[in-house]
Amino acid sequence: MNLNRVAGLVASLICLVQGEALALSLDEAQSRAARAPEVLSGLAEEAAAEEWSKAAGQLPDPRLVLSVDDYMLEGDERYRVSGSKRMIGLMQEFPAASKREAERQTANAAREGSVRMREYAQLAAQREVSLLWLQLYFLTQKEALLNTNAEEINRRQAVTIAALSGGGGTDAALETLLDQRGLDDSFDLLRRDLQLVRARLTRWIGPLPSTEVATGTLPAWAQNAPETRIGMAADAETAQASDPEIELRASQVRIQMAQAELQMAQADKDTDWSMEIGFGQDAMGNAMMMAKVGVSLPVFSGSRQNPRIAAARAQLAGIEAEHDLRKAEFTRQREELLAEEAAFSAMLRRLSEETLPLLSRGVALAEASFSGGKGSADMLIKAREKRIAAQLRALDLEAARAAVRARLYFLQQRGEIHHE
């Protein structure tokens, strides 16, 4: 039995029955997720970092210098600017080239970090929307199966009522009533789950009409078994160079920023200089020119620059250790998801290839026995209910496996972002 084909047929029938139901495909949901607040915020931060990087490493603005020398406070010439030396000039500072380069490296790392965080926000939105869409997709199919189960219970109830009228026992009627109450609980839980999923989808893609249902077929990554080693390279050298998962890429950017900060701390030992040129007049009205050159003297590096360099090195070592921790965490997540996917696939395979065919054979035998006048309607209805229960179990397993495959798929996508 092809569960995906059955699930697709059930979803199509639901859409036809509802008539006015609006269709929400996975592509449409992901497209609407592109307008999620996190994504828009990431785009704004990326634009800000891009603009900031344009100014990094530039020379400081020049300064206009106005000066008055020999300004008299006593005597006949007191308080007279015309009797003083007057000058106007420009002063330009020239930070060390190493400092400007370190500033550019810091800005580039910040820009790269904003790009990665924006990519992560987009991928996270697509991941969450995909998981929620899958829940809505399978809940819609579960509703159809529960409705079918309700029909079978109603038939059994009619049979038990007829049996009671003929003097039959009350055990079957009591069992039917208990099953009906259990089915009512299942419908209540289904309505709760549908409401929760819609509320969570609204958080990512905006208002969702109550008649909007998931439609379409499952994406290929939810139908096909994942690779046994997602995102891992065949050789150790390539594996070291391909850090899968965008969080690892983000931590690499943090390493670059820490390296730039270390470079900036080391550049503080380099000499800055400045130049000032001015023109003016002395008290006699004669033209003058002035030129000054200033040079920084980092002569106290032991108490100023060296501690900053040591702090930057320690920070870099901590970030590198954190990066290794994230790599180990990624491996753990991948292996756990692969183990879950293998377990769900094995249970689904056993259910679809062994259990459901046996139950379908039992239904066929019960129908043949009932048609031949040897079996009872109650036996036939119970055989159908057992098959529906197994189909519900298969649907739950398929939903769980699809969610695991979605997590594996987006885990791989986070790795592929790094190589584009």
Would you say residue 15 has pLDDT above 80?
A: no
pLDDT tier at 420 (50, 70, 90 boundaries)? very low
Q: Residue 201 sits in a domain of what CATH number?
A: 1.20.1600.10
Would you say residue 236 has pLDDT above 80?
A: no
* C-alpha radius of gyration, the chain, whole number: 37
Residue 111 placed within a domain: no
Q: Which tokens sit at 112?
A: 């790269």
Averaged pLDDT of the chain: 80
Residue 137 placed within a domain: yes
Are 275 and 366 found together in one domain? no
Strand residue runs (E) in 141-234: 212-214
Would you say residue 247 has pLDDT above 80?
A: no
Q: Which tokens sit at 312?
A: 């930057």
Residue 42 placed within a domain: no
Distance between CA atoms of residues 24 and 13, nearest Å: 15
Residue type (1 letter), 97: A
| Segment among 101-115, 183-197, 367-381, 383-397 with least mean pLDDT | 367-381
User: What pLDDT is recorded for position 165?
Assistant: 63
Are 122 and 89 found together in one domain? no
pLDDT per residue over 390-415, tens digit each?
Answer: 999 999 999 999 999 999 888 876 54
| Those residues with Cβ within 8 angstroms of residue 32's Cβ, 6 or more apart along the chain or in another chain | 129, 204, 205, 206
pLDDT per residue over 382-392, tens digit each?
Answer: 888 888 889 99
Would you say residue 174 has pLDDT above 80?
A: no
Place of tokens 């003297």: 297
Q: What angle (nearest 5°) sits at the alpha carbon of residue 134, between those of residues 132 and 140?
A: 105
313, 110 in Cβ contact below 8 A? no
Q: Compute the average pLDDT of residues 210-226.
A: 79
Crossing angle between the packed helical segments 97-165 and 377-416, to the nearest 10 degrees:
180
User: What pLDDT is recorded for position 164?
Assistant: 64
Q: What angle (nearest 5°) sits at the alpha carbon of residue 410, between those of residues 408 and 414?
A: 115
Are 275 and 225 found together in one domain? no
Q: Averaging pLDDT over each range in 253-257, 342-346, 413-417, which range is the top one? A: 342-346
Bridge partners of residue 290, in order along the sequence:
278
| Segment among 22-26, 283-287, 299-303, 411-415 with least mean pLDDT | 411-415
Q: Compute the average pLDDT of residues 120-140.
A: 90
Would you say residue 13 has pLDDT above 70?
A: no
Q: Which tokens sit at 275?
A: 């130049």
Backbone angles phi, psi at 74, to 5 degrees: -140, 165
Would you say residue 27 has pLDDT above 70?
A: yes
DSSP letter (8 states) at residue 83:
G
Q: Which of 72, 82, 83, 98 lies closest to 298 in space, CA to CA? A: 98
pLDDT per residue over 293-326, tens digit each?
Answer: 989 888 887 878 888 888 888 888 888 888 788 7
Distance between CA atoms of residues 237 and 215, nearest Å: 44
**Taking the model in full, what pTM does it have?**
0.72
Backbone angles phi, psi at 137, to 5 degrees: -60, -50
92 membership: H or E segment, kind and range: strand 85-94
Q: Is 273 left (phi over 0), alpha (psi -120 to 50) or beta?
A: beta
Buried b (16+ CB within 10 A) or exposed e, 225-251: ebeeebbeeeeeeeeeeebbbbbbbbb
pLDDT tier at 2 (50, 70, 90 boundaries)? very low
Residue 208 placed within a domain: yes
Q: What angle (nearest 5°) sits at the alpha carbon of residue 367, between those of residues 366 and 371?
A: 115
Are 219 and 337 found together in one domain? yes
Are 376 and 290 found together in one domain? no
Residue 410 placed within a domain: yes
Residue 260 placed within a domain: no
Are 28 and 72 found together in one domain? no
pLDDT per residue over 63-106, tens digit each?
Answer: 999 888 877 777 676 767 777 788 899 999 999 888 888 888 88
Distances (CA, A) of 20 to 141, 209, 210, 318: 17, 11, 11, 58
Are 140 and 225 found together in one domain? yes
Q: How many residues does the chain have?
A: 420
362, 386 in Cβ contact below 8 A? yes
Evaluated on CA atoms 339, 341, 347, 350, the torsion sign reads negative
Q: Compute the average pLDDT of residues 18-25.
A: 60
Q: Which tokens sit at 414?
A: 């986070």
Residue 413 placed within a domain: yes
Distance between CA atoms of residues 7 and 137, nearest Å: 9
Q: Which of 93, 66, 87, 91 lies closest to 276 in space, CA to CA? A: 91
Crossing angle between the packed helical segments 3-18 and 377-416, to the nearest 10 degrees:
100
Domain that holds residue 222: 3-34+116-245+329-419
Are 169 and 292 found together in one domain? no
Q: Compute the average pLDDT of residues 163-192.
A: 77
Are 138 and 279 found together in one domain? no
pLDDT tier at 342 (50, 70, 90 boundaries)? very high
221, 133 in Cβ contact below 8 A? no
Residue 318 placed within a domain: no
Q: Which of 329, 323, 335, 176 lies closest to 254 in space, CA to CA? A: 323
For the chain, the domain total comes to: 2
User: What pLDDT is recorded for position 403?
Assistant: 92
Q: What angle (nearest 5°) sits at the alpha carbon of residue 19, between those of residues 17 and 20?
A: 140
